[in-house]
Structure 1
Amino acid sequence: MQKAVEILSQSATDLDTSELYVLLSQHYRKLNESLFALVLDRLMGDSRVRFDSQRKCFTHKAKKEHTGIVVTPAQNLPYVIEDDTGERFSLTQDAAKLYLPGDAVRFRAGHSSEPWDDVYLFANVTEVIDHAVAEIVGEVKKNKSKNGKVTYHFKKFDPRLCNLSVKFTEPDSVLEAWVDQKAVAAIERYPSKDDPRVYVRIDRVLEVNNDADLEIELAVRQFNLPYEFSPGTMQEAEKLPEKVLAKDRARRVDLRDVPFCTIDGEDARDFDDAVYAEPLKDGAFRLLVAIADVSYYVKPGSDIDHDAQMRSTSVYFPRRVIPMLPEKLCNGLCSLNPNVDRLTMVCDMVIDSLGMVKAYQFYPGVIHSHARLTYTNAWKYLSGEAVEETDVPATVRGSLDNLYALYKVLRQARKTRGAIDFATRETLVKTDEKGDIVAIVARESNDAHRLIEECMLAANTCAADFIGRHKKLSLYRVHDSPSVDKLLELRRTLSGFGLSLSGGNKPTAADYEAVVEAVSDKPYSDVIQTALLRSMQRAVYSPDNIGHYGLGYEAYTHFTSPIRRYPDLLVHRTIRGILSRRTYRPTVYAASCSVLNSLSGMTLKRTLLAMPQPEKEQATDPSRGAWVELGKITSACERRADDASRDVTAWLKCRYMKSIASDKQKFTATITAVTSYGLYVQLQDIFVDGFVHISNIGFDYYGYTIEGKLVGETFGEEFAVGDVVTVSLIDVDEDRRRIDFRISRSRR
Structure 2
Amino acid sequence: MTKNRNKSGKKKDQGKDVKSTKPKAARMRKEAMLKAILSLFHSSPKEPFNYKQVSKIIGVENAVQKLQVSDILFDLCADDVITEIDRGRYRLNSLGTVAIGTFMRRSNGKNSFIPEDGGSPVFVAERNSLHAMAGDKVKVQLLAKRRGAEPEAEVLEVLERKEKVYVGKLQVARGFAFLVTEDKTLANDIFIPKEKLNGGKNGDKAIVRIVEWPDEAKNPLGEVVDILGTAGQNNAEMHAILAEFGLPYKYPASVEKAADKIPEVIPPEEIAKREDFRDVLTFTIDPKDAKDFDDALSYRLLENGNIEVGVHIADVTHYVTPGSIIDREAESRATSVYLVDRTIPMLPERLCNQICSLRPDEEKLCFSTILELDKEAEVVHSRICRTVIKSDRRYTYEDAQQVIETGEGENKEAILALDALAKKIRARRFKQGAINFERYEVKFEIDETGKPLSVYFKESKEANKLIEEFMLLANRTVAEFVGKVKKGQAKKTFVYRIHELPDPEKMENFASFIRRFGYRLKTDGTKSEVSKGINSLLDTVQGKPEENLIETVAIRAMQKAKYSTDNVGHYGLAFDFYTHFTSPIRRYPDMMVHRLLERYLVGGRSVIKSKYEDVCEHCSTMEQTAANAERASIKYKQVEFMSDKLGRIYDGVISGVTEWGIYVELNENKCEGLVPIRDLDDDYYEFDEKNYCLIGRRKKRQYRLGDAITIKVAQANLERKQLDFMMV
Q: TM over 0.5: same fold?
A: yes
Secondary structure of the corresponding residue to residue 725 of structure 2: strand
Query: How many Å apart are 1:48 and its aligned residue?
Result: 9.3
Rounded Cα–Cα distance in structure 2 between residues aligned with 1:290 and 1:496 = 48
Aligned counterpart, 2:446: 431
The equivalent of 2:387 in structure 1 is: 365
Answer yes or no: is 1:684 the counterpart of 2:667: yes
Q: Which amino acid aligns with 1:397?
A: K
1:730 aligns with 2:714: yes
Tell which structure's C-alpha radius of gyration is larger.
Answer: 2
Match of 1:258 in 2: 280
For structure 2, which runs of at least 5 residues remain unmatched after alignment? Answer: 1-33, 43-74, 82-92, 486-490
Structure 1 partner of 2:195: 170
Any conservation in 2 of the 1:261–1:274 contact (CA below 8 Å)?
yes
Q: Deviations over 1:165-202 (max 9, x none)?
A: 4233738xxx6965448475664833242667655455
Which of 609, 612, 615 is the matching residue for 1:627?
612
The aligned residue for residue 413 of structure 1 is: 428
Distance 2:393 2:344 in 1: 26
Residue 64 of structure 2: aligned partner? none
**Retained in 1: the 8 A contact 2:130–2:215?**
no
- In structure 1, distance between residues paired with 2:674 and 2:205: 35
Q: Look up the equivalent residue of 1:626 and give its one-letter code.
A: K
**Map 1:627-706 → 2, pairs under 5 A:** 627-657=612-642, 659-663=643-647, 665-674=648-657, 678-694=661-677, 696=679, 699=682
What is aligned with 1:492? 512
Shift of 1:514: 2.6
For 1:511 and 1:11, the matched residues in 2 are separated by: 58
1:474 corresponding residue in structure 2 = 494
Query: Alignment identity in percent?
Result: 30
Q: Give the Å deviation of 1:223.
A: 1.9
Deviation (angstroms), 1:206 = 3.1
Of residues 321-330 and 94-103 in structure 1, the stretch that sits farther from structure 2 once superposed is 94-103
Give the C-alpha shift of residue 648 in structure 1.
2.5
Select between 469-478 and 338-347 the one with higher mean Cα deviation. Answer: 469-478
Q: What is the CA–CA distance in structure 2 between the aligned matches of 1:48 and 1:691, rounded to whole Å?
A: 43
For 2:550 and 2:166, how far apart are their aligned partners in 1? 41
Partner amino acid, structure 2, of 1:653: Q
Give the SS at the match of 1:383.
helix
Aligned-residue offset at 1:301: 1.8
Q: Which segment drifts farther, 489-498 or 548-557?
A: 489-498
Per the alignment, do residues 494 and 85 of structure 1 end up closer, same or farther by CA in structure 2, a change over 3 Å counting? Answer: farther
2: distance between equivalents of 1:552 and 1:11? 56
State how many pairs are aligned: 638
Asked if 1:447 is matched to 2:479, the reply is no
Counterparts of 2:327 and 2:164 in 1: how far apart (Å)? 24
Contact 2:281 2:299 in 1 (8 A): no
- Counterpart mapping for 1:234-273 below 5 A: 234-273=256-295
- Change beyond 3 A, Cα 1:64–1:97: closer
Range 644-653 or range 123-132, more displaced: 123-132
The 8 Å contact of residues 681 and 691 in structure 1, kept in 2 or not, is answered as yes
- Alignment of structure 1 residues 460-471 onto 2, 5 Å: 460-469=475-484, 471=491
Q: Are 2:151 and 1:124 equivalent residues in the alignment?
A: no
| Greater RCO (CA < 8 Å, at least 6 residues apart) | 1
Change beyond 3 A, Cα 1:628–1:202: closer
Map of 2:419 onto structure 1: 404
Task: Please report the RMSD computed on the Cα atoms of aligned residues, expressed in angstroms.
Answer: 3.8
Measure the CA separation in 2 of the matches of 1:128 and 1:354: 63
Equivalent residue for 1:502, pick from 522, 525, 533: 522
Residue type of the alignment partner of 1:246: P
Q: Which runs of 5+ in 1 are unaligned?
A: 13-42, 50-58, 144-149, 387-391, 586-622
Q: For residues 729 and 188 of structure 1, what CA distance do their matches in structure 2 show?
A: 37
Q: TM-score, normalised by structure 1?
A: 0.76
Aligned residues of 2:188 and 2:220 also touching (Cα < 8 A): no
With over 3 angstroms needed to count, the CA separation of the structure-2 counterparts of 1:519 and 1:278, relative to structure 1, is farther
The answer to whether the Cα contact below 8 Å between 1:276 and 1:403 also exists between their aligned partners in 2 is no
1:570 CA displacement:
0.7
Please list the CA deviations of residues 79-119 of structure 1 after superposition, one character each: whole Å capped at 9, or x if unmatched.
23625658555554557893444444443444899xxxx97
Amino acid of the structure 2 residue aligned with 1:484: P
Q: 1:54 matched to which residue of 2?
A: none
Asked if the contact 2:169–2:231 (Cα under 8 Å) also holds between the matched residues in 1, the reply is no
Shift of 1:351: 2.6
Structure 1 residues 725 and 415: alpha-carbon distance in aligned structure 2, compared to 1, 3 A threshold:
same
Amino acid at match of 1:425: Y
Shift of the 645–122 alpha-carbon distance from structure 1 to 2, 3 Å rule, reads farther
Q: Deviations over 1:260-317 (max 9, x none)?
A: 1111112212111011334558985322110000111111121111111111111111
Letter in structure 1 aligned against 2:452:
I
Helix, strand or coil: the match of 1:532? helix
Query: Contact between 1:98 and 1:164, CA under 8 Å: does it hold in 2?
Result: no
Change (3 A) 1:684 1:674: same
Alpha-carbon contact 2:661-2:677 (below 8 Å) kept = yes
What displacement does 1:432 show?
0.9
Shift of the 443–111 alpha-carbon distance from structure 1 to 2, 3 Å rule, reads: farther
TM-score (norm 2): 0.78
Q: Following the alignment from structure 2 to structure 1, what is the Cα–Cα distance between the partners of residues 350 and 135?
A: 33
| 1:521 CA drift (Å) | 4.5
**Residue 591 of structure 1 aligns with which residue?**
none
SS in 2 for 1:296: helix
